Amino acid sequence: MFAARGLLRALRSCSSAPSPRHKPSTTLSVRDALGSQNTNGERVKVQGWIRSVRSQKEVLFLHVNDGSSLENLQVVADSSFDSRELAFGSSVEVQGQLIKSPSKRQNVELKAEKIEVVGNCDAKTFPFKYKERHPLEYLRQYPHLRCRTNVLGSILRVRSEATAAIHSFFKDHGFVHIHTPIITSNDCEGAGELFQVEPSSKMKLPEENFFDVPAFLTVSGQLHLEVMSGAFTRVFTFGPTFRAENSQSRRHLAEFYMVEAEMSFIESLQDLMQVMEELFKSATMMVLSSCPEDVELCHKFIAPGQKIRTYAKKQLFNWGDDLHTEHEKYLVKHCGNIPVFVINYPLALKPFYMRDNEDGPQHTVAAVDLLVPGVGELFGGSLREERYHFLEQRLARSGLTEAYQWYLDLRRFGSVPHGGFGMGFERYLQCILGIDNIKDVIPFPRFTHSCLL
């Protein structure tokens, strides 16, 4: 306690730099400059990249952006500042006065007193051209540069806001954030689509493992969250997961992000579904409130280009068959193109940890998926099998008793009814932005035969 107070006092008193004799220009982001209420000639400094250059006889106009906003800041300068170095893509530092703009297109503009080119850009060889709207497929060829385009900038800002919104939801609802491991010896999904982890240089004999057991990149943090749910009634994790699926489809990545939560003392799917619905609504409302222009850009220029697939109105599957993407999208469309919960799946289709409903011939488990327009499955969750003997029997039938003895131990020592869910973060972004290909909503997509950078 006393040590913590001392640390706080030290932090308050420390200074990283001596006070300057003359007050320097205030450094503002483009977003802050555009929203500034002080337009009485306040001297400011803005740093960013040139998005357009327009030179007239006596005046030079630059549009500068630093990634903080979709809208650019207009810089007005004397024509004497004009040079070949002031080109599309060049990085600049501009100092001057922030004044009210006479144009109706923007509220403020920066009257430049000094323009410094920090880094040149050869506009002729730069792969993106001013005023040209490049297809997302084309941008994918340049993962090191595509973040500089308007559309990727908007997607990544939405991604950042959505991340903050999800964390905010869990914090406000009393969840404890758990950092689950990336390297694991468990296969939560049981599908066997795992990346095995080994040292790049053999430090031991070839037949030996670095960890003494086979280790893999995680496919889910669920089982580790279940461990934590024995001590905390509400826990969540938000991190990368990995699947070695040999697929280049628009729905699959080898590395993607999952939002996962576990809750103790819940005994009905309705309780679980309520949290899933509240998370979806809360995060989306916060994103729409925080960056409406970015969402609108995606809806205006990307979503209209989606191909709407239709399916004949017929029986697409029988009881006991698994749902595929076309079935999921058909169900969503059939219900009016709104999010749809599907519950109580056949036991034979689901992993060992889902709770047996004991419901006779159909024999289902207490599982739930949330299907959404354009994507299909977004959330997947279930009540967990907390009854020791039921779980023991299912593990024995699968030949997993020895590997999951620790999981059985959780049921021996203070077990409680509990459940949880996972949400694919990239699929969530696809859903709210109307983006057809999952590779366009993650900064650096990894999929089979492709690991650029």
The reported pLDDT for the residue numbered 186 is 80
Helix H or strand E encompassing 290: helix 269-290
Q: What is the pLDDT of residues 106-117, one digit of tens each?
A: 889 999 999 999
Amino acid at 23: K
Share of the chain above pLDDT 70, in %: 89
Residue 305: what pLDDT? 40
Q: Are the beta carbons of 437 and 136 closer than 8 angstroms?
A: yes
Quote the pTM value: 0.89
- Please write the tens of the pLDDT for every residue from 43-94: 899 999 999 999 888 899 999 999 999 999 999 998 888 788 899 999 999 9
Q: Identify the pLDDT of residue 248.
A: 77
Query: What's residue 152's pLDDT?
Result: 95
Confidence of residue 306 (pLDDT cuts 50, 70, 90): very low
Confidence band, pLDDT 50/70/90 cuts, at residue 17: low
Cβ pair 96, 41 in contact under 8 A: no
pLDDT digits (tens, 9 = 90+) for 106-152: 889 999 999 999 999 998 899 998 888 899 999 999 999 999 999 99
- Token readout for 72 is 């650019």
- Res 308 pLDDT > 50: no
d(CA 140, CA 143) in angstroms, rounded, equals 6
Mean pLDDT of 437-443: 95
State mean pLDDT over 368-392: 93
Q: Give CA angle at 166 (163, 172), nearest 5°.
A: 140
Say whether 126 sits in a helix, a strand or coil. Answer: coil
397 Cβ neighbours under 8 A, 6+ residues apart: none
Here the tokens at position 71 are: 């809208």
Would you say residue 193 has pLDDT above 60?
A: yes
- Is 310's pLDDT higher than 90? no
pLDDT of residue 318: 61
What would the pLDDT profile of 200-229 be if each residue is shown by its tens digit?
776 555 667 788 888 899 999 999 999 999
Confidence (pLDDT) at 20: 54
Highest-scoring range by mean pLDDT, 277-281, 315-319, 375-379: 277-281
pLDDT on residue 15: 60
CA distances from 137 to 52, 103, 437, 438 (A): 24, 36, 9, 12
235-248 mean pLDDT: 91
Look-up of token digits 């993407």 = 325
pLDDT of residue 192: 60
Task: Measure the CA–CA gap between 97 and 112, rounded to whole angstroms.
Answer: 7
What was the pLDDT predicted at 307?
A: 34
**Distance separating alpha carbons of residues 254 and 247, to the nearest angstrom:** 9
Structure-model confidence comparison of residues 271 and 6, the more confident one: 271
The stretch 175-190 carries a mean pLDDT of: 85
Alpha helix segments (H runs only) across 135-243: 136-139, 150-172, 222-228
Per mean pLDDT, which range of 11-15, 166-170, 329-333, 392-396 is the poorest? Answer: 11-15
pLDDT tens digits for range 263-289:
999 999 999 999 999 999 999 999 999
